[in-house]
Amino acid sequence: MQNNTPIFEKKNVLVTGGVGFIGSHLCERLLKEANVICMDDLSNSDISNIQHLLQYPDFEFIKYDVNEKIDLKDFPELDKFKVRFQGIQEIYHMACPTSPKNFENLKIHSLWANSKAMLNTLDLAVDYRAKYVFGSSSVVYGRVDEENKIFAEDHEGVVDHLSPRSCYDEGKRFAETCVETYKQVYGLDAKMARIFTTYGPRMKLRDGLLIPDFILNALDGKDLVIYGDGEITQSLCYVSDMVDGLVRLMGTGPDIAIVNLGLDEPYKMSEVAEKIIQMTNSSSKIVYEAPLVFLTKKGLPDLRRAKENLDWIPLVRLEDGLHRTIEYTLANKENLALRS
């Protein structure tokens, strides 16, 4: 009689950069269905993002730099997940600095995250025959202008590979080349999520990220700073929608390799700032400053592939997402101020 009992009750999933903004929400979501190994060196994130997850037996945090070769057998704390016997079934590689304000100090980290860390995590996927999702970025589409502002996955962007921010922009393109090469050579089921601007609780403060800084300044009655002019727009996807898209992408077959994830309508940042001022009953004013090097004009995603293949669209309204983000910031304001 054939035994159809699986050799393990729950799959083992590794999330690199798992303490970061999107990574921590992804770990939280995956706990519903998997044993979650969260790997992060805490160089650009705060342990408080996953503090509430540490109590769960199906969750394990490992402080480790994924720019170094990864051997899961080196971590006895993973014995409870029977990694030696069961291996890992999925890898989400989300580790990469994305700080607009601290960008100059993180250039080498960005370069490594898009090269060394790619090869290390892809090698791990080969070792365990694990499915793999890479958190890429909309920056691979390159310059945004009137002719190029809505990007489908087959758009071939032009990126200056010698600019002050090419360690990130060209880095993400090279990282995608790594994924595609491992697919071709090793037959990996590896995928790329081209992530457009995402917001929500646990974003870093005082980092040049507009939404959290808007909220904190509005709560303190300080000016809300827009880096650019009143016409600057962004696609804003709430983090729970983004995480849902990533999980759905992991669940697809090998034929689905690259998918845009984001909101396909633009919001003027001046209008978002006004909305936050109203929602917090603030007396703050909006001011404009010169653009930061790491903040570039971004286009909008063509979501046809995500809708057709993942059955995915962003569902959270901006007002609802901002309300949740404001509530989080209010509840954690004192701790956040100490950390920022």
317 versus 231: the higher-pLDDT residue is 317
* Selection from 195, 158, 52, 72 nearest residue 123 by Cα: 72
Place 121 in a pLDDT band, splitting at 50, 70 and 90.
very high
Could you tell me which of 60, 63, 190 has the C-alpha nearest to residue 119? 190
Q: Which of the pair, 158 or 134, is modelled with greater confidence?
A: 134
Whether residue 288 lies in the annotated active site: no
> Distance between CA 227 and CA 119 in Å, rounded?
35
In this structure, what token pair is assigned to residue 152?
Answer: 């489908």
pLDDT above 70 (res 338): no
Query: What pLDDT, in 10s, does the model give residues 215-265?
Result: 999 999 999 988 877 778 889 999 999 999 999 999 999 999 999 999 999
51-61 exposure pattern, b = at least 16 Cβ within 10 A, e = fewer: eebeeeebbbb
Q: How far apart are the first and last CA of the chain?
A: 61
Asked if residue 62 belongs to a domain, the reply is yes
240 within domain boundaries: yes
User: What would the mean pLDDT of 1-15 be, rounded to a whole number?
Assistant: 68
**pLDDT computed for residue 294 by the predictor:** 59
Whole domain around residue 310: which residue ranges?
11-200+235-263+297-316
| The pLDDT of residue 68 | 95
pTM above 0.85, yes or no: yes
CATH of the domain at 247: 3.40.50.720
Residue 280 covered by a domain: no
Residue 2 binned pLDDT confidence (cut-offs 50, 70, 90): very low
Q: So what's the pLDDT on residue 179? A: 98
Confidence of residue 3 (pLDDT cuts 50, 70, 90): very low
Question: Within 10 Å of residue 161's Cβ, how many Cβ atoms?
Answer: 12
**Does 208 map to a domain?**
no
How confident is the model at residue 101, as a pLDDT? Answer: 60
Mean pLDDT estimate for the chain? 89
- Mean pLDDT value of segment 313-332: 94
Q: What is the pLDDT of residue 158?
A: 78
Tell whether the model's pLDDT for residue 135 goes beyond 90. yes
Catalytic residue among 92, 132, 168, 182: 168
Q: What is the pLDDT of residues 87-110, one digit of tens each?
A: 999 999 999 877 656 667 778 888
- At 106 the pLDDT is 77
Question: Quick one: what percent of the chain has pLDDT higher than 70?
Answer: 91
- Rounded-to-integer distance, Cα 269 and Cα 266, Å: 9
77 by Cβ neighbours in 10 Å (0-12 / 13-18 / 19+) ranks as exposed
Between 161 and 180, the more confident residue is 180
Q: What is the number of structural domains in the chain?
A: 1
Q: Is the model more confident about 296 or about 234?
A: 234
In a domain, 2, yes or no: no
Residue 270 included in any domain: no
331 confidence band (pLDDT: 50, 70, 90)? confident
| Least confidently predicted of 72-76, 88-92, 160-164, 323-327 | 160-164
* Structural domain includes residue 250: yes
What does the pLDDT read at residue 322?
Answer: 97
- Containing 126, the helix (H) or strand (E) segment is helix 116-128
Cα–Cα separations (whole angstroms), residue 166 to 140, 162, 294, 322: 10, 6, 10, 31
Confidence of residue 340 (pLDDT cuts 50, 70, 90): very low
- The mean-pLDDT minimum among 34-38, 108-112, 206-210, 261-265 falls in 206-210
What are the start-end ranges of the E strands in the chain?
11-16, 34-40, 59-63, 90-93, 131-137, 150-151, 190-195, 198-199, 224-227, 233-235, 237-238, 258-261, 266-268, 286-289, 300-301
* Cβ(76)–Cβ(103) below 8 Å: no
**pLDDT score of 234:** 86
For the chain, what's the residue count?
340
- 219, HSE (Cβ side, Cα atoms, 13 Å): 18
55 within domain boundaries = yes
Ranges 205-209, 244-248, 326-330: which has the least confidence: 205-209
Half-sphere exposure of 188 (CA within 13 A, CB side): 30
Question: Does the pLDDT at position 153 exceed 60?
Answer: yes
CA quadruple 30, 44, 263, 252: dihedral, nearest 10: -40
Q: Is the pLDDT of residue 21 over 80?
A: yes
